[in-house]
Amino acid sequence: MRRCRLLILVVVVGLSGCAMSYSLVAAGMVAVEGLNVQTGSGWNRAPGIHTPSNRQDAETWTKDGMLLDRLVIIPAIGDGEAIMVSRSKSAALPVFKADMLPNELEELVESSMVKAFGEGGSVVSTDGLRPHRFGERDGVMFDLTATVIDGPQYRGTVGAFIAEDNLYLIYFIGAVPYYYDKHIAEADAIIRSATL
């Protein structure tokens, strides 16, 4: 009887490990809750357990591991909603407003990233705000840098557009210098390819 219980425990733990594993995002057109992107090569989709600050409908992909690089796709952020989930009940996140101007979208991402990396322990700055057309939608792209006390320094690129009062956001960050340089060309192409 004891062996049977042990065998059941091993099977349950093994199956739960499968549910928490990374999965392959194949090259080609990929849809994330209505937001379509074109990938040139495979990425690894992180399980939800590894992305606690992600909204439920968001996905995080990586090439070399979450601490080294990540591409985050966040579809359909409604008016009055935050672009991520707070890990702390006391930390109020800034929210998206459907009438935000391009510079306000940039500020929204910057202040949200500060919260994600941990206030007081990180510095996030953005620059290079520029227009970009995502399919039929006018949007913006901009660059960011993040210095984290307990982690590497990051550089990244963000793409965002508003459609039917919802914000669609994709960003890539990579540890500098190596991982950012290694993946930015492909990540930038994915961000630029975003359409509804």
Spatial distance between the Cα atoms of 101 and 132, rounded to a whole number of angstroms: 14
Position 2 scores a pLDDT of 47
Which is nearest to 32 in space by CA: 75, 1, 79, 92?
75
Q: Which residues pair with 145 in a beta bridge?
A: 125, 155
pLDDT tens string, the chain, 196 residues long: the values are 444 443 343 333 343 444 468 899 989 999 999 999 999 888 999 887 767 777 888 999 999 999 999 999 999 999 999 998 876 666 688 999 999 999 999 999 999 988 877 767 789 999 999 999 999 999 999 999 999 887 889 999 999 999 999 999 999 999 998 999 999 999 999 999 999 9
Q: 88 Cβ partners below 8 Å, 6+ apart? A: none
Which is nearest to 129 in space by CA: 144, 112, 148?
144
CATH of range 22-192; options 3.40.1000.10, 3.90.1150.10, 3.40.50.12160, 2.60.40.1180: 3.40.1000.10
Position 5 scores a pLDDT of 45
3-state secondary structure of 118: coil
**Which residue type sits at 134?**
F
